[in-house]
Structure 1
């Protein structure tokens, strides 16, 4: 069996470009050599704490230097990283610790209250990160590891807990091969990342998108990562200007914020690469961003189970707004019949069906859940649960989640299509479209809107009338509800399950 470790993503640039800046966080600047030295010292400390190759170690930290240091320390010691989403309740963190079988929880002081309560309830040892934390102290008194632990390419490297949009979060097991390949192909085949690039690390590193695309792909190319612990659009623009950031990775809500903040900004960064993912980017937002910042946005698509990137708009193929571009190098993305569960039956070009994926990026399964794994991995393909199409030029488009389709009076209505139209209304800041139970039509279409101005009953009527003009008679929303913010899951997708529960009640 071939050996491979995700730790090489940091070890190699430390060997090849030791003095190049790897990480910037506030006033802290670390070269690749310094960062790898810290990670090896912490890796030795973890080994002293009893972490053995294959042990799962939970990591709970924001976008500060503590996260990547501990992440690569776990990998260097041969452990498996279990990133914990920072907005989880104590009970939800308990589920992750129990379900993953974590032997240790590494926790940043900012998360200590929740972390300590969950660790105590599950009898998992918690070790504090940070300047005066236990891990730093132990690392300072320990000789750093001379090299990272040997791992087989197919050994687990990271267990990502899915956002639970369909119920209880499940642990998706990603191998060293999955994650090294995804970082490599993102860096060199899809995006042309260069060693003198500087990327903004604003996406949460505990999530697959931030971890693979922002952190691992950037360092795979030997480029610099500037961390922003808490996303604020105005501060992000300032920081990008200060640090000469030319690469931005974000989710749609971040792009909405940056477009608004650009109007008041004294100076805008000169961006070369902008990548959007995590959820569908409304074309109206993409157009406003490209106009304000003068740079194209490459929208992509992926899931925790696919490392995460499966498909993205790429310069080699040209870009097409409203699509997710073409599959990554070495990955196949096709459209299959959505109503057949026990086999994958591929559909002809242009037909609507379920997005299925195969390639080096597809996970090995859900931890301890053979039935869920068998449902997801069929005939060598991963069934995404998303509905999409592929056109004659090979461009893929996501239409919606299979579970989010609204059936009104026997007609299928795809919320994404309605949301795209709503986002073009000047009074709509954000929109999510859901189906609510209806005695006449089965389901009624409801738009949940974050208004760009004061919400009034008149505004609801205006939006409905406007939608009527731009959508088919079976598609426009009959109900408009206003909210201050939409509920987001760990991957920054809108939790429509929560909206349906709230507004049905």
Structure 2
């Protein structure tokens, strides 16, 4: 039996902890991140994350799960690096989730510590949740002193210079647990290794030709796998990140001109807002070499407008939490006649096929489930071996997406096996929303689907059958009921009352009839909500 040489293993390791550290050795004084008026170089970002990582170790945290409950910020990026450098596992949390969903993530992942923005800690439900779970709490930002029993991030990052933390975990060890939105109301925890994520970062850099000369516009949240890949892939190559904590079209247009942003990644609805903004004609966009989009199809007319007035090279990147993005890239500029649901071809290192339910690989023009193989595949779902096994049937990773290869080798995405709705870049579980609606005493039956929307890509639409003698219940009452129990992005954009839902003989709702019969519900000339 061949033995493992520990010295070689340490030298050859693949670790997310090394991304900023190695960038700092290559070009210490180069700007790594821009956030508003703030700028931080690679060496400073590396040193600050080392100090925070050392503080975590001083608190006894090595090999633990540590969450971030943060908007985009330099501190958030530093905290991610500190978690990896101290040999811990990162658990990103979607800040738009309701308190119950956040509690599920923190409890299910067995999180022991959390980095949280001060305004979020001020939310009573979140503060009570963190105290109830007994989490070590590091507070980011805020104008007031950190609450008693918590640690201020700035104090940790400005400690006396730390000694190098040495070799933390790497290779196939667990690096992060990122939660999906879930189709049954409870999110699945997706476990990734250092190697699987690092492979995705290299693939991202290669697929979009990133170099140290790029300035990458990062506006999507870092707790999403797509933005994490783009941001860390940029730092891996030595590029600079322009980081925004939210989307403001005027601010983004000004930043493109001021910072000479070369690679922009936005949702289709964001590009639409940029194109329609009155400042766009006067903005110098000549620095843009690439406009990337994802999470929703892009209308042909918008795509043509972006290519004409913003950037000639427009590409779609796809992937999923389980198969860290990107998995496929569609070069829209090379195929201007194709529809927005074309996913293109696999990135280098990833193999893609279309499979039927019996595991048979299908040819061009045949419809089946999109499956992948590659080094960016996840380790499995935490505490869910059955779901892990189901995702690995027949030796491929199963995406749950339906598609087919066209004659030219491009992948055409057709539908989702499950009724997951993507609205404004967020995944919405129809089953979860239906359960909330059915909890209202006036609701006898409910079905939720995603319908085309000119701003959100897809919008959540609910169809409700009232109980007898409940005619007084209206849309506003149900929307208020949903807002109390769901994240903002999960609340329906429309609730329609119907006499009955279309059903199969076996009693299952035929959602395709609801979709096909209401495709114009959110037509461009309708009032946006």
Q: Same fold (TM over 0.5)?
A: yes
Match of 1:130 among 123, 131, 141: 141
What is residue 489 of structure 1 aligned with on the other side?
A: none
The change in CA–CA distance for 1:66 and 1:124 in structure 2 (over 3 A counts) is same
1:398 to partner: Cα distance: 1.1
What is residue 131 of structure 2 aligned with on the other side?
A: 120
1:328 to partner: Cα distance: 1.2
Match of 1:144 among 150, 162, 185: 162
227-236 or 113-122: bigger deviation: 113-122
Instruction: Show structure 1 runs of 4+ deviating over 4 A.
Output: 262-265, 314-321, 428-436, 439-442, 448-454
1:317 to partner: Cα distance: 8.1
What is residue 330 of structure 1 aligned with on the other side?
A: 349
Does the CA-based 8 Å contact 1:334-1:356 persist in structure 2? yes
What is residue 467 of structure 1 aligned with on the other side?
A: none
Any unmatched runs of 5+ in structure 1?
407-414, 456-482, 485-505
The change in CA–CA distance for 1:44 and 1:182 in structure 2 (over 3 A counts) is same
Any unmatched runs of 5+ in structure 2?
147-151, 422-448, 464-500
Do structure 1's residue 438 and structure 2's residue 502 form an aligned pair?
A: yes
Does the CA-based 8 Å contact 1:262-1:292 persist in structure 2? no
Q: How does 1:88-99 map to 2 (within 5 A)?
A: 88-99=97-108
Does the CA-based 8 Å contact 2:69-2:117 persist in structure 1? yes
What is residue 378 of structure 1 aligned with on the other side?
A: 393
37-46 or 114-123: bigger deviation: 114-123
204-213 or 245-254: bigger deviation: 245-254
What is residue 297 of structure 1 aligned with on the other side?
A: 314
What is residue 59 of structure 2 aligned with on the other side?
A: 49
Alignment partners' CA distance in 1, 2:456 and 2:351: 35
Q: What TM-score comes out, normalization by structure 1 length?
A: 0.80
Q: What TM-score comes out, normalization by structure 2 length?
A: 0.76
Q: CA RMSD in A?
A: 2.8
Alignment partners' CA distance in 1, 2:329 and 2:229: 14
What is residue 253 of structure 1 aligned with on the other side?
A: 269
Q: How does 1:399-414 map to 2 (within 5 A)?
A: 399-404=414-419
Do structure 1's residue 447 and structure 2's residue 462 form an aligned pair?
A: no
Does the CA-based 8 Å contact 1:44-1:142 persist in structure 2? no
Deviations 1:399-450 (A, max 9, x none): 11112499xxxxxxxx99x84xx86xxxx88554879632699533223744
Alignment partners' CA distance in 2, 1:199 and 1:57: 27
Does the CA-based 8 Å contact 1:25-1:64 persist in structure 2? yes
The size of the alignment, in residue pairs, is 435
Match of 1:160 among 160, 164, 178: 178
Does the CA-based 8 Å contact 2:214-2:240 persist in structure 1? yes
1:264 to partner: Cα distance: 5.1
The change in CA–CA distance for 1:291 and 1:433 in structure 2 (over 3 A counts) is farther
Match of 1:186 among 188, 193, 204: 204
What is residue 351 of structure 1 aligned with on the other side?
A: 366
Does the CA-based 8 Å contact 2:218-2:244 persist in structure 1? yes
What is residue 234 of structure 2 aligned with on the other side?
A: 218
